[in-house]
Amino acid sequence: MFDIFVTPPREKAPTNFRELADSDFDIHMTYYGGAITEYFRNSANGTSNRKILEKWKPQSILGCHVIALKTTKSACISWDGATELAINVQLGDKHGRTNLVMKPSNDLEFHLSIAMEKRWFFKENFNRLVSSLVECGFLDYWKYTTFTELRSERFEKEKLNHTSTSTFVEPGGTTRLNLKHLTGAFVVYQGGLALAFAIFLGDMYSKLFHVFKNRLLKVPSEKNP
């Protein structure tokens, strides 16, 4: 909820190829040729993939993301790794933030295979190693540290050349919430807690008073024969 109030979405972006094909977005592609192009070309006429093929324009990795960032209603189709590199290293600020919205899609299901000898004795150990790295999160940590180092190198070069390629801009036109805006909510919350605690003490006092009063009434009656 805090993210919704701090950075409210301005417009809903397409979430898959079907919505992208039916939208009025310009479509750009970072990889043109090979299996991906054939995948779209072999799609039947009138399908979402065919519509995308008719609209897309080939671009470089950086150029594709820059166009999507600086042009209204433009989308860039790219591999996850290329998009993460562009966002976290080439276009992001010191925290890796940009104004791009990344929508992962499983429309393209190309599986990666590693070829090796059939009787290669390292195969089982290799599989166990890769599985362990994925499960413990080492690969995600390695990717995070790599992006951080590359981003630092970029800022050092930009400082020497007196240039800047960072494209992150704080959202304008709306009031960004901070802790000062939540002061009233905290005051109401504390007031509610104090009132609830006072009611609780009042109930406890009333109950103890009635118990003590009943005991005083019972003591004289017990002494009478």
- Host H or E run for residue 71: none
- Answer yes or no: do 12 and 114 share one domain: yes
- Per the domain annotation, does 173 fall within a domain? no
- Per the domain annotation, does 154 fall within a domain? yes
- Answer yes or no: do 54 and 12 share one domain: yes
How many whole angstroms separate alpha carbon 22 and alpha carbon 189? 47
Which three-class secondary structure string do you get for 104-168?
Answer: CCCCCCCCCCCCCCCCCCCHHHHHHHHHHHHHCCHHHHHHHHHHHHHHHHHHHHHHHHCCCCCCC
Domain that holds residue 137: 2-161
Contact assessment for residue 76 and residue 67, using Cβ atoms and an 8 Å cutoff: yes
- Answer yes or no: do 30 and 140 share one domain: yes
Task: Give the list of residues 6+ apart from residue 87 with CB closer than 8 angstroms, or none.
Answer: 65, 96, 98, 100, 102
- Answer yes or no: do 112 and 25 share one domain: yes
Q: Which amino acid is at 223?
A: K
Contact assessment for residue 68 and residue 60, using Cβ atoms and an 8 Å cutoff: no
Mean pLDDT over the full length of the chain: 74
- Per the domain annotation, does 119 fall within a domain? yes
Q: What is the band of 168 on the pLDDT scale with cuts at 50, 70, 90?
A: low
pLDDT value, residue 110: 53
pTM over 0.85: no
pLDDT in tens, 169-201: 555 545 566 777 778 778 888 888 999 999 988
pLDDT in tens, 1-39: 445 554 555 567 777 788 888 888 888 888 777 677 777
- Answer yes or no: do 200 and 118 share one domain: no
Q: Is 62 helix (H, G, I), strand (E, B) or coil?
A: helix
- Per the domain annotation, does 172 fall within a domain? no
Total domains in the chain come to 2
pLDDT value, residue 137: 72
- Answer yes or no: do 86 and 187 share one domain: no
- Answer yes or no: do 141 and 200 share one domain: no
- Answer yes or no: do 154 and 200 share one domain: no
Task: Give the list of residues 6+ apart from residue 105 with CB closer than 8 angstroms, or none.
Answer: 15, 16, 17
User: What's the CA angle centered on 223, arms 220 and 225, to 5 degrees?
Assistant: 125
- Answer yes or no: do 12 and 62 share one domain: yes
- Per the domain annotation, does 169 fall within a domain? no
User: What's the CA angle centered on 3, arms 173 and 89, to 5 degrees?
Assistant: 85
In angstroms, what CA-CA distances link 15 with 67, 103, 145, 209? Answer: 19, 6, 29, 64
Comparing CA positions, the residue from 85, 71, 80, 77 lying closest to residue 14 is 77
- Per the domain annotation, does 196 fall within a domain? yes
- Answer yes or no: do 18 and 52 share one domain: yes
- Answer yes or no: do 82 and 126 share one domain: yes
- Per the domain annotation, does 166 fall within a domain? no
- Per the domain annotation, does 113 fall within a domain? yes
Return contacts of 43-49, CB within 8 angstroms, 24+ apart.
48/17, 48/18, 48/20, 48/21, 48/22, 49/17, 49/21, 49/107
Which of 135, 161, 187 corresponds to the end of one domain? Answer: 161
- Answer yes or no: do 203 and 119 share one domain: no
